[in-house]
């Protein structure tokens, strides 16, 4: 069965930057399971996986624009310390998360720490980086009608509800 929209795909990935530095890997834990074609993974990786099948192992190189986007130079914000869980321990260069409206979290990088505010860079930590994925497809199956309706995977590697 080949990977296409509305398939449930399980895969291992090993992610490095163009210098070979490891950014993330599923190899130490469970593979990732996604409902393919629903924007769960970055567009460049999705394009590189389409058409492959179980057992395939291949490299996908993704330009920054098709990964987490280009870096925006002036994408910074001054935020009151109370919005950080770990404000008293922050220093320039640290990565942390900022609570956002609606209850989500956004990864940010600390630029400067003042007495009551923190200047942060809102660019995604991987913005502006070309990414190299080594992918191994471990399973491809049809999505159930319920999974398609919910827009996510159920069972192992997915939602349990």
Q: Which residues bind Zn ion (CB under 5 A)?
A: 150, 159
Whether the Cβ atoms of residue 2 and residue 140 lie closer than 8 Å to each other: yes
In the complex with Zn ion, which residue's Cβ is closer, 10 or 96? Answer: 10
State the nearest-atom distance from the C-beta of 8 to Zn ion, in Å. Answer: 12
Residue listed under structure tokens 């995977």: 153
CA dihedral 110, 13, 63, 61 (to 10 degrees): 150
Collapsing DSSP states into helix, strand and coil, what is residue 40?
coil
In the complex with Zn ion, which residue's Cβ is closer, 7 or 52? Answer: 7
State the nearest-atom distance from the C-beta of 150 to Zn ion, in Å. Answer: 3
In the complex with Zn ion, which residue's Cβ is closer, 12 or 150? Answer: 150
How far, in Å, CA of 62 to CA of 24, rounded? 15
State the nearest-atom distance from the C-beta of 147 to Zn ion, in Å. Answer: 7
In the complex with Zn ion, which residue's Cβ is closer, 71 or 150? Answer: 150
State the nearest-atom distance from the C-beta of 144 to Zn ion, in Å. Answer: 10
The H or E element spanning position 45 is helix 43-49
């Amino acid at each position: 069965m080949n990977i296409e929209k509305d398939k449930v795909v399980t895969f291992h990935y090993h992610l490095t930057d163009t210098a070979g530095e490891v950014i993330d890997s599923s190899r130490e834990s469970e593979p990732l399971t996604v409902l393919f074609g629903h924007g769960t993974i970055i567009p460049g990786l999705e394009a590189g996986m389409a058409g492959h099948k179980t057992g395939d192992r291949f490299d996908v190189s993704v330009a920054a624009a098709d990964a987490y986007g280009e870096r925006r130079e002036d994408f910074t914000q001054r935020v009151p310390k109370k919005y950080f869980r770990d404000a008293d321990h922050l220093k320039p260069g640290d990565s942390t998360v900022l609570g956002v409206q609606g209850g989500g979290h956004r990864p940010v990088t600390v630029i400067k720490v003042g007495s009551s505010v923190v200047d942060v860079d809102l660019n995604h930590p991987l913005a502006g980086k070309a990414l190299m994925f080594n992918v191994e497809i471990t399973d491809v199956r049809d999505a159930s009608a319920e999974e398609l309706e919910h827009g996510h995977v159920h069972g192992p590697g997915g939602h349990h509800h």
